[in-house]
């Protein structure tokens, strides 16, 4: 009978633990409202540490170098984002080899045929968008799971990359006078990275002025609902993959800008990091939540951490462990936030 007497008033909690509880609730609220909150915090902390440790952080070179080196990975992450937001298991694994493919198109085809000027921009971006759309169509029309479809394209593109530039030493380098080097340096007083990284964000912002972006999130959140409400779900998804391809085009320019080349044997180097950055940035891998800005911050965290450990001369093998740990924390936090959301 003693079990029945439990229902008494719980003793008043100490004020400090109540305050801590409040802070946790507030943190989770923040994370629910701004899914990139964790990545933002991480980026700010890592950036602060980097600045403190750098001998001359306010020089021009510091920021230019930071942005140019971070750009390809951050752009790969942003390019991976729309497909993931579109839901339905949306994924585009082919972004990294696509970047290298477009970079090689630029170096091997466009530049030698005097199309290496500004004319190359619409060609590279357009080709990227077209290949992205092809991925989307493959998934929609053949009803292949996105991971499988884009994995197939991933392999095909890696093969094509290797074939196109069998020997990087023969015609695999761009003339240093090409305009594209400015993207890795400065355009007037502004670091080139601002343009490459800013382009997807600008496109994303402009899409927010159209009904498209809202519709994309709704499709990602629940495609059956969207379909029943009269949304052309297939078209929305194809456009999402196409956007990914478009951003991969920008990424390819950022890539070429750094090294004036594109080593095809590195074709797959950004695939997993991009996905990690997206997840770290708070975008739900189930679709419908998150955004491009989060992916940028996620990529920034990963880049800054790597950079920092390098300057601290930490054994690079620990780097991977740190990436993993960071990703785990981000995903668990996202899960906790989701649970808090449901409980409310």
Partner 1 sequence: MTTTDAAVPAEAVETPPVLVRMTAMAKAFGPTQAVRDASFELRSGEVHALVGENGSGKSTLVKLLSGVHAPDAGTIELLGLETPSLRTPRAAQDAGVVTVFQEVLVAEARSVLDNVWLGVDTLVRQRVGRREKRVRAREALAELLGRPLDLDKAVEELSLSERQACCIVRALLRDPRILILDEATSSLDVATRDRLFGIVSRLTRSGVGAIFITHRMDEISEIGDRITVMRSGETVATLARGSWTPRELVRLMTGSDQLTERAREDGGAVAERRGDVALSARGLRLRAGRRPMDVEIHAGELVGVAGLEGHGQDAFLDALRGAGAVDGAIVRHVGGRDEPVGSPTRAARLGVAYVPRERRQTLFGWMSIRENFGMPTLSADSRRGWLRLRLTRRRLNEYVARLGIVLGDPGDPITTLSGGNQQKVAISRWLAADPRVLLLNDPTRGIDVGAKRDLYALLTELAQEGRAVVMLSSELDEHVELMDRVLVFREHELFRELDHASLSREALVSAFFGEDGESG
Classify residue 239 as exposed, middle or buried by CB count within 10 Å of its CB (0-12, 13-18, 19+). buried
Cβ 264 vs Cβ 104: under 8 Å: yes
Residue placing its CB nearer to partner 1 in the complex, 91 or 289: 289
Measured distance CA(206)–CA(222) in Å, rounded:
23
Q: How far is the CB of 232 from partner 1 (least distance, A)?
A: 7
Q: Choose, by CB under 8 A, the member of 37, 76, 226, 253 that binds partner 1.
A: 226
Token pair, residue 334, equals 């996202």
- Whole-angstrom CA distances from 173 to 169, 265, 332 are 7, 15, 44
Task: Kindly state whether residue 81 participates in binding partner 1, applying the rule CB under 8 A.
Answer: no
Place of tokens 């077209």: 130
H/E run at residue 50: helix 37-53
Per-residue contact string for residues 6-35; x = within reach of partner 1 by CB under 8 A: xx----------------------------
230 near partner 1 (CB under 8 A): yes
The residue from 25, 59, 175, 229 that contacts partner 1 (CB under 8 A) is: 229
Residue 219 C-beta: closest distance to partner 1, Å: 8
- Least distance to partner 1, CB of residue 152, Å: 25
Q: Smallest distance, Å, CB 203 to partner 1?
A: 14
Q: Which residue's CB is nearer to partner 1, number 142 or number 210?
A: 210
Instruction: Mark the segment that binds partner 1 (CB under 8 A) among 14-22, 36-44, 107-115, 213-221.
Output: 213-221
From the list 143-151, 179-187, 233-241, 248-256, the region that binds partner 1 by CB under 8 A is 233-241
* Contact window for partner 1 (CB under 8 A) among 107-115, 126-134, 206-214, 291-299: 206-214
Q: Measured from the CB atom, is 133 or 262 closer to partner 1?
A: 133
Residue closer to partner 1 (CB basis): 256 or 289: 289
Provide the CA 29 distance to its chain's centre, in angstroms. 24
Candidates 44-52, 94-102, 129-137, 284-292 — which segment interacts with partner 1 by CB under 8 A? 284-292
User: Residue 191: helix, strand or coil by DSSP?
Assistant: strand
- H or E segment to which residue 249 belongs: helix 233-259
Q: Are 238 and 41 in contact (CB under 8 A)?
A: no
Complex with partner 1: residue 18 or 156, whichever CB lies closer: 18
Instruction: List binders of partner 1 among 164-193 (CB under 8 A).
Output: none
Instruction: Please choose, from the candidates 248, 312, 309, the residue with its C-alpha nearest in 3D space to the C-alpha of residue 73.
Output: 248
Binding residue (CB under 8 A) for partner 1 from 214, 259, 321, 329? 214
278 and 93 Cβ atoms separated by less than 8 Å = no
Among 151, 162, 235, 331, binds partner 1 (CB under 8 A): 235
Strands 186-187 and 190-191, how do they pair?
Answer: antiparallel
In sequence order, the β-bridge partners of residue 191 are 186
# residues contacting partner 1 (CB under 8 A): 35
Q: What is the DSSP string of 259-324?
A: HSS--GGGTTTTHHHHHHHHHHTT--TTSSS--HHHHHHHHHHHHHHHHHHHHTT--THHHHHHHH
**Phi first, then psi: what are they for 110, rounded to 5°?**
-70, -50
Rounded to a whole number of angstroms, the minimum distance from the CB of residue 223 to partner 1 is 9
270 contacts partner 1 (rule: CB under 8 A) = no
Which residues in this chain contact partner 1 in the complex, by CB under 8 A?
1, 3-7, 210-212, 214-215, 217-222, 224-232, 235-236, 239, 284, 288-289, 341-342, 344
């Amino acid at each position: 009978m003693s079990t029945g007497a439990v229902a008494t008033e719980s003793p008043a909690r100490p004020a400090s633990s109540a305050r801590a509880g409040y802070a946790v609730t507030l943190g989770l609220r923040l994370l629910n409202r701004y899914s990139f909150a964790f990545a933002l915090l991480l980026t700010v902390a890592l950036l602060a540490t980097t600045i403190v440790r750098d001998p001359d952080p306010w020089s021009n070179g510091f920021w230019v170098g930071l942005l140019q080196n971070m750009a390809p990975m951050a752009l790969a992450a942003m390019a991976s984002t729309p497909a993931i937001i579109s839901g339905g298991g949306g994924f585009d694994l082919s972004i990294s080899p696509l970047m290298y493919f477009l970079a090689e198109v630029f170096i091997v085809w466009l530049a030698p045929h005097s199309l290496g000027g500004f004319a190359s921009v619409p060609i590279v971006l357009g080709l990227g968008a077209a290949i992205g759309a092809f991925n989307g169509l493959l998934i929609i029309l053949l009803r292949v799971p996105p991971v499988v479809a884009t994995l197939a394209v991933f392999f095909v593109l890696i093969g094509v990359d290797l074939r196109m530039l069998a020997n990087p030493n023969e015609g695999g380098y761009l003339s240093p006078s090409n305009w594209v080097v400015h993207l890795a340096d400065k355009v007037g007083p502004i670091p080139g990275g601002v343009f490459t990284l800013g382009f997807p964000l600008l496109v994303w912002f402009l899409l927010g002025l159209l009904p498209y972006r809202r519709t994309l999130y709704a499709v990602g959140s629940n495609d059956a609902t969207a379909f029943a409400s009269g949304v052309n779900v297939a078209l929305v998804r194809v456009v999402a993959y196409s956007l990914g391809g478009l951003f991969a085009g920008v990424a390819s320019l950022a890539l070429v800008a750094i090294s004036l080349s594109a080593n095809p044997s590195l074709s797959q180097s950004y695939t997993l990091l991009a996905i990690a950055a997206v997840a770290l940035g708070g975008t739900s891998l189930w679709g419908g939540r998150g955004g491009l800005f989060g992916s940028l911050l996620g990529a920034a965290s990963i880049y800054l951490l790597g950079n920092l450990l390098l300057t601290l001369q930490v054994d690079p093998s620990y780097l991977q462990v740190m990436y993993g740990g960071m990703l785990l924390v981000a995903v668990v936090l996202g899960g906790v936030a989701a649970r808090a959301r449901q409980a409310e």
